Amino acid sequence: MSKLLYGGWLHLLLLFITYLATINENPDLKNLGSMIMIIGCILVSILAHLAKIESMLSYKHYENIFNGDSREENEDEESSK
C-alpha cells in the first residue's frame, strides 16, 4: 500500500514540476498545465482511496482467518471436555 501512495505522490510532484516548467517556457500553455495538474490530482486521490480500501479489506480478511482459527480450536477443546 505504501509503495502505491508514495508512487502517487511522486507522480504528483513530477506533474507539478512539469507544470512550472511549462508556464516558464510558454505562458500560453498555462491552461494545459492546469488541466494536467487537475487530472494528476484526481488520479492520485483515486489511487490513495484504492490503496486504503485494499488495506482495509486485507486486514479484515486476515482478521477473519485468525479469529476463525481460534474459534474452531476453542470449540474443539470444549467438545473434548
Question: Consecutive 10-residue runs of the chain (81 residues): their mean pLDDT?
Answer: 62 75 69 75 76 70 61 53 53
Q: pTM for this structure?
A: 0.41
Task: In whole angstroms, give the CA distance from residue 67 to residue 60.
Answer: 10
- Asked if 19 and 33 count as a contact pair (C-beta separation under 8 A), the reply is yes
